[in-house]
Amino acid sequence: MSEITNGARCATLQQLRELFKLHLGHTPCDLTIRTRLDEWKVPRFKANPAAKKGGGPCYYSVAHVEKQLRSRMLPGRLVAL
């Protein structure tokens, strides 16, 4: 198992690519992942909250992403990414 599924609370976009691959069998492009995260209203955090643009990586809630992926993986409810 990957470190991302072993209790991680926050992950960068690059780390979430692995999570999408585990659930979908393929990895969508970064733009598609970011669009989905925005649509799902996944909470995001900055390493430096005072920084508006730049200023370090943006972290996303892993639990929220996993919940969204699982809810879309139920039979008959798979949403194409």
Q: What is the average pLDDT across 57-64?
A: 90
**More confidently predicted of 72 and 17:** 17
Sorted by where each begins, the domain ranges of the chain are 3-72
Amino acid at 76: G
CA–CA separation, 46 and 54 (whole Å): 10
Structure confidence at residue 52 (pLDDT): 67
Q: 39 vs 47, which has greater pLDDT? A: 39
- What's the rounded mean pLDDT across residues 61-69? 90
Instruction: Give yes or no for a contact between 48 and 55, defined as CB atoms under 8 angstroms apart.
Output: yes
Mean pLDDT of 3-14: 74
Fold of 3-72: Arc Repressor Mutant, subunit A (1.10.10)
Average pLDDT for residues 55-69, to the nearest whole number?
87
Mean pLDDT of the chain: 79
Output the six-digit token pair for 14. 């690059």
